Structures are given as C-alpha cells and as structure tokens.
Structure 1
Amino acid sequence: MNDLREVAIVGVGQTDFGALYANRDAQRDQYALGAEALRLAIADSGLAKSDIDGLLTARIQYEHGGHVLGLGNVRVINGLEGSGRMSGVAIQQATALIATGQADVVACVYGNNGRSVQMKYGGGYTASPTSVYDSLYGMTSPGAYVSMMYQRYRHLYGVPDGALAPLAINNRQNAALNPVAVMREQITAKQYLASRFIAEPLRLYDYCIINDGGVAIILTTMDRAKDLPHRPVRIAGTASAADVSNYYTSPSFFYDASQKVAKDLYTQTGLKPKDVDVTQIYDNFTPTILFSLEGFNYAPQGQAWEWASLDRIGRHGTSPINTAGGHTGESYMQGWAHHVEAVVQLRGEAGERQVRDANVAQYICASPITTSHILIGE
C-alpha cells in the first residue's frame, strides 16, 4: 500500500437552522435539506460536483440520496444511521477513504426533517430485547438514560443542583452571536434554575433542540486543498472506541472509552488539551459536556463541574467550548454542525464569535461510539 495521504476539510455548508425552526413544514424533505447543504459546501470548496468521487450519507438513505444529490455513480458510497455519534464516524471514514487512495474527494451529507414531521426521540429508544422492560420504568429516550448517569455522577462527586447552568448559559451566549442559531436569547442562572425538569435532574435548558436542517462537509487531500480558496483544515488525527450495551448508558460515563480515544489521538498528533484553541463537544444533553471534559483530560475526573466555569469555557476563556451555541443553542444537528463550526473557527470566519488566533480545534463525542478528531488550520 502507498504511504497514507494527508486529508483536509475544504468545504462546508449548512442550512439556516433558526429560519427552519420558525417555519415548520410537514412537507419538508430531508433529502432536499441535504442537497441544499451540499450545494453550499461545493460552492464553498471551489471544487466542481464532478470532482466528488465518494459519498457518505447520514439520516438519508444512500441510494435515493445518491440519486437526489446527483452523485449516483461515485467510486465509493455508503449510508450511516441517523444517530449523533455518526457525524464523527463519517469524518473518520471519509478520512480513511482519502488517506488510502480509495477516493480523492468525499462529500459527507446529512439531512434531517425531524421537527417538521414531529419526530419523537422517545417511546422506546432501542430495539434491543430488553427495551420493553426499560420502558416500563420510563427509560424511553436517551435523555432518560443521561439523567440517570448524571444522577450517579452527582452522587459520586457531591455535585450541587445548578452545576450544569454554566454549560447552558455558555451555549446561549454563543448562540446569540450566531445568525443561524435557533435559540438566540441569553439566559441567566436564575432562569436556568426556574426552568422545569424534563427528566430530573435535567431541566429544559439541558436538552438539545430537535429541528430540521442539512449539513455537508467535503474532504480531499492536503495536496489538492492547498490550491483551493479557503485555508485548509487538516485532519491531524482521529480515533474511536466503543462502549456499547443494550442501554444508552455507561457506569463510567463513557470515561474508559474516552480515555482510549484520548490516548490514541494525543499520541497521533503530539498535542494535548492545553494545545487546543477551541473545542466542539457533542452535547445532546449538557452532562455529556462534563463527561467529555473528564474523559479527554481537560478536567480531573469528578471535577469538570467545577472546572467548566464561564470564565474558562466562554469565547474569551482559556478553553472555549461550543462556540456556535451547541445543541442546546444553535440546533441539534447531531454533531454535524459542530464540525462546521470547528472549520469556520480555524478559517477565522466566525465573525463576532471568533476565537482569537484559533489554529487547533478538537471535536469530541462521548457516546456508545466515542470519536474525536484534532483539526489544524494550515
């Protein structure tokens, strides 16, 4: 096999999440949303659609998707399920395809019409043989499982009520500066504490925002990226590990899997959390941010709730997190928009929410398939 080729993200595109949220349409089609995002990503990349020879879809089926997107005859094509962990998996697979020469330009395309069709992320979360028993006790969604994990975390580490407030507030502060975000009104700690419980101890502001939207990301070789319009964003390293069972839960809060990924990733890149300028953390629910910070060595185990102060994780802090507003502020695009924000930050194109001198970004998803990448602006 030839030496592995270096890979870069060269094009990103996403829909206006706020506008879509404000105008629900029962006829809205997830394939059309993905196609719009792809159109924007192609224009952003400086490439032609005919240059694309690899397609990975998520939440949209690859056969019909390939047809609708006009990419039905590429060299490599595959479809991934519609779970949030797959955004990281898609970037990893695209990177591997290009690095090994199986494709030269890969488009990763995501489309979601969940709000308009009133999709419920509950009522029986998994198809496992045990899910019927879980539902008897209210364990019918990822939120219920994460609430129980956070309850365990609070018990183990003496965490007071309201410890999640800075995470929710930070997301809203960043979303306020994001023109495509859904929730652009800032909140206070008092408002957070006054909000209703959804699955105690998780409150309204701890939950992601189910919405419609499309996201597309285009990757190619670093050699080719150097001749394209934007600053290339190199995939410096990527790693993954599984922590799966019949339940969306982990007694260690995905810590063991995260530690494996962190070790692999930091070894690959020679970088550590102190070297990262901006971090995008998959946050279907705010406790996942705490679990991620500890699993990836940003904060000591059991101390992320104290570590993650607004002064530290805010835009002007030492470790800015979820600068577009995260899943509780921008929109729940299941990790896909987090990748776009990482690229935009490294290009220096984030406008009012731009982190100064951002050159290194990390994406983290702590979940049954834990993934992480380190991206560098070249």
Structure 2
Amino acid sequence: MNTPVAVVGVGTTGFGALGRSADDLAGEALRTALDDAGLSAADVDGLLTHRVDSYEGLAAEHGFDPRWTVALPPEGRMTGPAVQTAAAAVRAGLCHTVVLVHGNDGRTRGATYGAGDSGSTGAGEGYGTTPAVTAPYGMTSPGAFSALMLARHRHLYGTTEEQLGTVATTFRAHASLNPHALRRDPLTLADYLASRYVVAPLHLFDYCQINDGGVALVLTTLDRARDLPRPPVRVLGAAQRGRLTGSDLPPEDFWADALAEVGEAVLRAGGRRREDVDALMAYDNFSPNVLFTLEGLGWCRPGESGEWIADGRIALGGELPCNTSGGQLSEGYLQGWGLLVEAVRQLRGECGSRQVPGARTVQYACAAPIVSSVLFGRED
C-alpha cells in the first residue's frame, strides 16, 4: 500500500527544570497535540511512545485501547525511526490515526550523560554500547565520542574552532526568536571561544541543553487529514540505516555513507531534489554533528562543512536555514522530537519571526549509530 500519511497535530510542553515525571509531561503534550488536530482519544487507534515509563499507564489515563502499540528504546537515534515506523503502520492499514508521544525528565533527574552515577550516564546513551571496554580510555560519555570525532575532522581537514562556533552562535540567534527556548541570551563568537572546554576540543556551548519536556505528534492518512482543521504536513519519506557493527568506536567516515543513503532515499520517495529542501533540522546533541550531517547529505564535500557554513549559510535568510528553533543546543534537548515539531510548524507557517518564507520541504536528519532521515512537505 502507498497511502499518503500526514502530520495533523503537534503538541509541546514548556521546557526547563519542571519537576514533573516523563509520563506527566508526555500526557500534557499528547492532550495538546490532539486539541491541535481537532481529535479526541476515540479517534486514535495507534500509540507509539518514547522515553515514557509506562505506555500502558499513559494509554489508560487517556482512554486509549489502540489496535497498534509500540514502545521504543530511549536513545535519540530512535526518533527518526519512530516516524518511519508509525507512518508505515498507517500505510499498511494497521491503524489509521497514531499518536507519537515523548516525555523527558532528564533535568529534574539530574542527568548529565557523563561519567558517574547521575542517572543517565555512559556512552550507551549516545554512541557506543560497551562503556566497560571504552571507559578506561576516557570514553565515559557521548561528549567524549563526539570530541574524538571532531579532533579527527580537524586533523584531516583543518576545521577550526571559529568555524565550529558558527553552529552554536547561529542556533542561539534562532533561539532568541523562539519564546519557548531555554537559552535566548546572546552568544557571540568571542563568548564561544572564551567558554571552557568540557571534553577538548568541545566547548561548553557545543553541548545540548539538558531539560525536561514533552512532545507529541498525530499522524493519519492524508484523506482524513484534509477534513481536519490544520494544514496537513505530509511525511514524504523516512529512512534509516544502522551502523551498529563497531559502534563502540567513532565511525571513520563520520557516518557519511549512511547519511548519503538515507538522504537520497527520502528525497527519492518524496519526489524532491536536494535543492528543494528549504530548511534542515539536524540532530545537534553536539555541534560537530551538524557538520557531519551537512557533509553526509551532500550539501558540501567531505571536510568542507566548516567553510561552507560561513557567511550565514545555515542562518535564517541563508541558503539552508538549520535548526530554526534554536535546536538542541539552545531550545532544549528532546532527543530530536523538538526538531520534528519545528519542521511541522515551519511548513504550517506558524514560526513568526523565525519563519522560513514559503517553506514547502523540510528535512530532519540524525547522525548516530542508527542514521535516519525524515522528509516533510506541504501540499501544493
């Protein structure tokens, strides 16, 4: 079956240190998304949860008895596959309307994604799966893996701190236009360069913002979507490629081959070309990932991303605006879900002063041991 699928509702909570459980935040976002879609629990027959403690409790609280249910592992690499899986279920007729629900209480729990007993630790949260093997060599956190990848990129291609700082400062400028972003205070390149190293060569502002929050999306068939109040945002394509063999070590090609594969797959499925993409939402748990993503998707050649992003190319008004909400570096870390919502809101024309004029096609991409991409599009 090739039933067109569309996003018809999105919902988010506030972000920050909220002092609430992941399930409570997920439930709030779910109710907001259903209201946004003009639907009720009775209209829903599919449920996908991510980082929710109890999919059963969430369903019971909101009156769901779904025909199709999936609960995914907590890593952010699962966000793109979540959309792919839910859209496939709708296309296959396993359900006709599915809610995708994410809850995150990392800031309240004191998660640091580093070494020690902070609740969420070790390389397994981001890259690598056997920290017992890698920890003795300093690989005690996702940041250590990203720092090692950046160091190699700098060695091979001469990528500079100033070039990388463009990512953080650009996304902070975008966040200043987003009233929901955690970090809206100005960030200059001088501020970035003066900030402390966390794991050299990564500076403080190369790290995402740990926070609490909930996100939900509602997907249904395009035929049903046209009868609902919001403009349908089509899921034009979704693809993933696992790079799990040897994932205890950073990939030597920065996931370039897998990014190229999934990028080409979603463009082909959506009948689009790379030049048709109006904005990119790149998974920015750490700022070097944005460089790797641009290279892997073919926006520039390997090693040229640092130079390519100069002169405002990834800023609003540039050739390829990226992470227009501020991304995970400044809006808040929600394992990629906030980037999906931003893609939808851009295509619905709801982003106010950070709106990409006339946006018709927005791509999400995640460089991780499971590389993924989703292509969203507005109907003509």
Query: What are the Cα deviations for residues 206-229 of structure 1, in whole angstroms up to 9, with x where unaligned?
Result: 000110000000000000111111
What residue in structure 2 maps to residue 132 of structure 1? 132
What residue in structure 1 maps to residue 229 of structure 2? 229
Match of 1:164, SS state, is helix
Name the Cα RMSD after superposition.
1.5
* 2:129 and 2:248 in contact (8 A); partners too: no
**2: distance between equivalents of 1:351 and 1:326?**
16
- Out of 42, 46, 52, the residue aligned to residue 50 of structure 1 is 42
What residue in structure 2 maps to residue 314 of structure 1? 315
**2: distance between equivalents of 1:248 and 1:316?**
37
Q: Does 1:5 align with 2:6?
A: no
Q: For this pair of structures, how many residues does the alignment match?
A: 369
What residue in structure 2 maps to residue 66 of structure 1? 59
**2: distance between equivalents of 1:264 and 1:82?**
25
> Structure 1 residues 101-110 or 79-88, which shifts more?
79-88
The residue identity in structure 2 corresponding to 1:9 is: V
**1: distance between equivalents of 2:254 and 2:178?**
30
TM-superposed deviation, 1:134: 1.3
TM-score with structure 1 length normalisation?
A: 0.95
**1: distance between equivalents of 2:72 and 2:313?**
35
TM-superposed deviation, 1:248: 5.8
Query: What are the Cα deviations for residues 250-295 of structure 1, in whole angstroms up to 9, with x where unaligned?
Result: 1111111111112222222232221111111110000000000011
Q: Does 1:202 align with 2:202?
A: yes
Percent of pairs with identical residues: 44
TM-superposed deviation, 1:86: 1.2
Q: Does 1:32 align with 2:33?
A: no
What residue in structure 1 maps to residue 81 of structure 2? 89
Show structure 1 runs of 5+ residues with no match: none
TM-superposed deviation, 1:120: 2.8
The residue identity in structure 2 corresponding to 1:7 is: V
Q: Does 1:41 align with 2:33?
A: yes
* 1:142 and 1:248 in contact (8 A); partners too: no
TM-superposed deviation, 1:246: 4.3
- Structure 1 runs (4+) greater than 6 angstroms displaced: none
What residue in structure 1 maps to residue 364 of structure 2? 363
TM-superposed deviation, 1:237: 1.1
Counting only pairs closer than 5 Å after superposition, residues 146-161 of structure 1 correspond to structure 2 as 146-161=146-161
What residue in structure 2 maps to residue 180 of structure 1? 180
What residue in structure 2 maps to residue 268 of structure 1? 269
Match of 2:101, SS state, is strand
Query: What are the Cα deviations for residues 339-362 of structure 1, in whole angstroms up to 9, with x where unaligned?
Result: 000000000000111111111100
TM-superposed deviation, 1:66: 2.3
Show structure 2 runs of 5+ residues with no match: 116-121
The residue identity in structure 1 corresponding to 2:200 is: E
> Structure 1 residues 276-285 or 124-133, which shifts more?
124-133
**Does the C-alpha gap of structure 1 residues 312 and 321 become closer, same or farther in structure 2, counting only changes over 3 Å?**
same
* 1:6 and 1:99 in contact (8 A); partners too: yes
**Does the C-alpha gap of structure 1 residues 69 and 162 become closer, same or farther in structure 2, counting only changes over 3 Å?**
farther
The residue identity in structure 2 corresponding to 1:68 is: E
Match of 1:357, SS state, is coil
**2: distance between equivalents of 1:263 and 1:129?**
28
TM-superposed deviation, 1:69: 3.7
* 2:166 and 2:309 in contact (8 A); partners too: yes
**2: distance between equivalents of 1:122 and 1:204?**
13
**Does the C-alpha gap of structure 1 residues 262 and 224 become closer, same or farther in structure 2, counting only changes over 3 Å?**
same
The residue identity in structure 1 corresponding to 2:161 is: D
Match of 1:107, SS state, is strand
Q: Does 1:117 align with 2:117?
A: no
